[in-house]
């Protein structure tokens, strides 16, 4: 019993000693080195968890090369701008640099946490970044951030299926044109025909045809291809995309609507209702009649999975599909070659134009280390942009570095980005995304394209002005293919208008 009490007493003494030591440590004031480290450091905030290892590695590398100590910090994307603003105003551990998508730059700038970049800073120019990236970080005529990385959509296709299709056609054409010169009743291939070539020659001829015809230049070409293509076993449809997601639909009307001008920041420059936009949505609706799948039955992950399984020839996708395909190739789940290209134009006379979002590096307007913050921002988006994709899978806005990569298709995404429309920044119509998605959903289901865009225009006008405004209904020329989409009421109004003009002319 005594031994037991002695043991308990010894333990209590040890615990008390630890407590005394801990209290003493807490009471020791921070040394000069600790204070210097806290002051001489740059705080960087970001919201994408997949960037954690990379941001930490870049912080270490930057410091080792003589730069200021950097402290990256992962934060929730919920009320991100508001959290940064509050921390900045309260002087409570606020970031000196933060990563945010370009559509939030108006909120950041107007709240004072986005510091305008010095006009003499030559880092932001079209020799380093495409104009899309420059526009994405511009607000009110001033550059308020550095472009970091981007996302957009592109066309992906099964190169193996298309190679085999072209080989089959060339062989059939060669045999059809051959003559029976031996008199044996069998056609003989001419010296310059496909059948007369060796394997290397055949592959060269196939490659030449693919370069001219693949991918289709327009959706008209794609539909013509789909109509004549004898799909191999296992292929379920020629082309599929996530119809519910505006990111994969926007290219239909991206070249024909205006949401705030080139930089997406001009509230006086909005136009979503015009002849070309209506025509573009009519083509979108036409694809439903051709491919006939319900939008509710398709998700993006399903599209990617079906492409990897060899069930699709063409699909639209974001850049993440490349790493998913490469992983499937390594595991043997994707025994094909694939290609990536820019989205085809709508027709010979109408262009497609995708939507893009640019993640940016913003220097906090409240920071007292703006010069250091700008240096680190340029370190990330310019000096080390070449490491970004290999280490994170993110596509750098400094797109020249993508041309040197071994990964298939990155150049196509870079080209699509260069011609894309940056996500608008306007807070007054921040719900335009949902409104436009609803418009596409209605048109896909069979609603009148002109009427749906007219409704969208009225709604946006009301949000901008606070007043109900009239928007004249657009009736397109009575082309047989187009008229079938117009409602009877619109046609009656058009006919009455023509009659009134005729009566007026007779009276004169």
Other beta carbons less than 10 A from residue 210's beta carbon: 17
- From CA 343, how far away is CA 350, in angstroms rounded? 12
Residue 6: the pLDDT is: 46
* Tokens matching residue 336: 């094909």
Give residue 16's pLDDT.
42
Locate all alpha helices (DSSP H) within 295-380, ordered by sequence.
Answer: 300-308, 320-331, 370-378
Which residues in 274-346 belong to E strands, given as ranges? 312-318, 338-341
Q: Which two tokens stand for residue 343?
A: 């989205």
d(CA 380, CA 59): 10
**N- to C-terminal Cα separation, the chain:** 126
Q: What is the pLDDT of residue 422?
A: 97
By residue count, the chain amounts to 508
H or E stretch including 8?
helix 2-27
pLDDT tens for the 508 residues of the chain, in order: 444 434 434 443 443 444 433 333 333 343 444 444 556 899 999 999 999 999 999 999 999 999 999 999 999 999 999 999 999 999 889 999 999 999 999 999 999 999 999 877 788 999 999 999 999 999 999 999 999 999 999 999 999 999 999 999 998 888 887 765 555 555 555 556 888 888 899 999 999 999 998 889 999 999 999 888 998 999 999 999 999 999 999 999 999 999 999 999 999 999 999 999 999 999 999 998 888 677 777 899 999 999 999 999 999 999 999 999 999 999 999 999 999 999 999 999 999 999 999 999 999 999 999 999 999 999 999 999 999 999 999 999 998 888 766 667 899 999 999 999 999 999 998 899 999 999 999 999 999 999 999 999 999 999 988 888 899 999 976 544 443 434 444 444 444 454 444 455 544 4
* Structure confidence at residue 1 (pLDDT): 43
Q: What is the DSSP letter of 423?
A: P
What CATH number labels 154-175+194-354?
Answer: 3.40.190.10
pLDDT of residue 122: 81
Whether 38-151+356-422 and 154-175+194-354 share one fold: the answer is yes
CATH topology of domain 38-151+356-422: D-Maltodextrin-Binding Protein; domain 2 (3.40.190)
Distance CA 396, CA 358 (A): 9
What letters, b where the CB count within 10 A reaches 16 and e where it falls short, cover 329-365? eeeeebeeebbbbbbbbbbeebbbbbbbbbbbbbbbb
Q: What are the boundaries of each domain within the chain?
A: 38-151+356-422, 154-175+194-354
Phi/psi region, residue 115 (left: phi>0; alpha: psi -120 to 50; beta: rest), is: beta
| The model's pTM | 0.84
- The C-alpha atoms of residue 262 and residue 424 are separated, in whole angstroms, by 9
pLDDT at res. 484: 41
Rounded Cα–Cα distance for residues 245 and 252 (Å): 13
């Amino acid at each position: 019993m005594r031994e037991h009490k002695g043991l308990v007493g010894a333990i209590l003494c040890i615990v008390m000693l630890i407590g005394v030591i801990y209290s003493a440590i807490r009471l020791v004031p921070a040394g000069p080195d600790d204070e210097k480290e806290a002051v001489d450091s740059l705080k960087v905030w970001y919201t994408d968890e997949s960037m954690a290892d990379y941001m930490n590695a870049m912080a270490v590398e930057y410091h080792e090369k003589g730069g200021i100590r950097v402290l990256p910090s992962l934060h929730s994307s919920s009320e991100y701008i508001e959290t940064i603003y509050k921390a900045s105003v309260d002087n409570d551990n606020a970031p000196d640099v933060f990563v945010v998508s370009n559509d939030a730059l108006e909120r950041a700038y107007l709240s004072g946490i986005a510091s305008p970049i010095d006009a003499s800073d030559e880092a932001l120019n079209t020799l380093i970044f495409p104009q899309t990236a420059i526009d994405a970080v511009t607000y009110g005529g001033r550059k308020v951030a550095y472009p970091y990385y981007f996302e957009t959509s592109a066309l992906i296709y099964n190169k193996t299926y298309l190679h085999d299709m072209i080989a089959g056609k060339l062989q059939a054409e060669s045999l059809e044109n051959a003559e029976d010169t031996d008199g044996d009743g069998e056609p003989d291939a001419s010296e310059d025909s496909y059948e007369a070539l060796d394997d290397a020659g055949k592959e060269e001829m196939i490659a030449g045809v693919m370069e001219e015809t693949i991918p289709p230049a327009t959706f008209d070409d794609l539909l013509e291809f789909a109509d004549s293509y004898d799909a191999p076993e296992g292929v379920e449809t020629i082309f599929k995309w996530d119809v519910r997601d505006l990111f994969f639909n926007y290219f239909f009307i991206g070249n024909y609507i205006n949401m705030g001008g080139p930089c997406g920041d001009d509230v006086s420059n909005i136009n979503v209702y015009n002849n070309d936009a209506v025509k573009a949505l009519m083509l979108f609706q036409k694809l439903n009649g051709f491919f006939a799948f319900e939008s509710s039955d398709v998700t993006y992950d399903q599209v990617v999975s079906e492409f990897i399984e060899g069930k699709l020839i063409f699909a639209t996708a974001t850049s993440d599909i490349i790493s998913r395909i490469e992983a499937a190739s390594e595991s043997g789940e994707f025994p094909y070659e694939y290609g990536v290209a820019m989205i085809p134009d709508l027709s010979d006379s109408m262009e497609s134009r995708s939507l893009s979002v640019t993640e940016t590096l913003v220097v906090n307007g409240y920071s007292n280390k703006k010069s250091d913050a700008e240096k680190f921002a340029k370190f990330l988006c310019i000096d080390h942009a070449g490491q970004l994709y290999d280490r994170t899978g993110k596509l750098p806005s400094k797109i020249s570095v993508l041309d040197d990569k071994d990964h298939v298709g990155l150049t196509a995404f870079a080209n699509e980005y260069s011609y894309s429309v940056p996500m608008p920044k306007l807070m007054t119509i921040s719900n335009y995304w949902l409104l436009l998605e609803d418009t596409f959903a209605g048109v896909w289901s069979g609603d009148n394209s002109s009427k749906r865009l007219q409704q969208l225009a009225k709604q946006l006008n009301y949000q901008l002005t606070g007043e109900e405004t009239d928007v004249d209904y657009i009736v397109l020329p009575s082309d047989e293919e187009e008229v079938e989409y117009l409602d009877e009421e619109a046609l009656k109004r058009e006919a009455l208008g023509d009659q009134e003009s005729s009566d007026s002319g007779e009276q004169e």
